[in-house]
Amino acid sequence: MLIRYKKSFKKIAMGLLSYMPQEKELKTLKETMECYESNDDWQLYLWKVDEDIVGVVGVVIEQKKVEILHIAVNPSYRDEGIGTKMIAEVKKTHPDLNVVPGEAISRFYEKCTKEAGKGSRL
Ligand SMILES: CC(C)(COP(=O)(O)OP(=O)(O)OC[C@H]1O[C@@H](n2cnc3c(N)ncnc32)[C@H](O)[C@@H]1OP(=O)(O)O)[C@@H](O)C(=O)NCCC(=O)NCCS
């Protein structure tokens, strides 16, 4: 289930975001969190399985476009379709906007989209 980020989830969100190669440096990671916490156009979502937070997806809204900047899943929960489901839920959450991948997530996004063409994913 996709839920909106709130401050009480900060540590778990930072831990998940740090799986992204560009967020390995603590300084960068803190700056990223600051963007999500202080700009209304930057929106962070978490993926919950039962009581556990196991995934994160972050977007920035620009006019008619939703750009996905971050996506990461706890390694223990990978290859179970959670990353794909998070992208599908972001699309459902913003039905009137064009959802596009940021550079850092383009490889995974393309894989999801390609397989959707075969009817199996998004
Ligand atoms: C990318 C990520 C979010 C995928 O989450 P997930 O829940 O495992 O995704 P799904 O189960 O929906 O899909 C898994 C598939 O995506 C593939 N995949 C994983 N990372 C990928 C990447 N960077 N580029 C392309 N495909 C990728 C897996 O090999 C797997 O392929 P398969 O179905 O053919 O076996 C997860 O691997 C992750 O957190 N990676 C570290 C963070 C990161 O690098 N994010 C940016 C990715 S571009």
Domain 2-117 is classified in which CATH homologous superfamily? Gcn5-related N-acetyltransferase (GNAT) (3.40.630.30)
Q: How much is the average pLDDT of 32-46?
A: 97
DSSP 40-67: TTEEEEEEEETTEEEEEEEEEEETTEEE
Q: How far apart are CA 46 and CA 18, in angstroms?
A: 14
> Is the pLDDT at 31 greater than 70, yes or no?
yes
CA 85 to ligand 1: nearest atom? 12
- pLDDT value at position 62? 94
For the chain, the domains span: 2-117
Tell me which residue has its CA closest to atom 44 in ligand 1: 20
Closest ligand 1 atom, CA of 107?
24
62-120 residue pLDDT tens:
989 999 999 999 999 999 999 999 999 999 999 999 999 999 999 999 998 877 666 55
79 lines ligand 1 (CB under 6 A): yes
| Cβ(83) – ligand 1 distance below 6 Å | yes
Pocket perturbation via mutation, ligand 1, pick of 47, 54, 68, 78 by most ligand atoms within 8 A of CB? 78
Predicted pLDDT at 112:
86
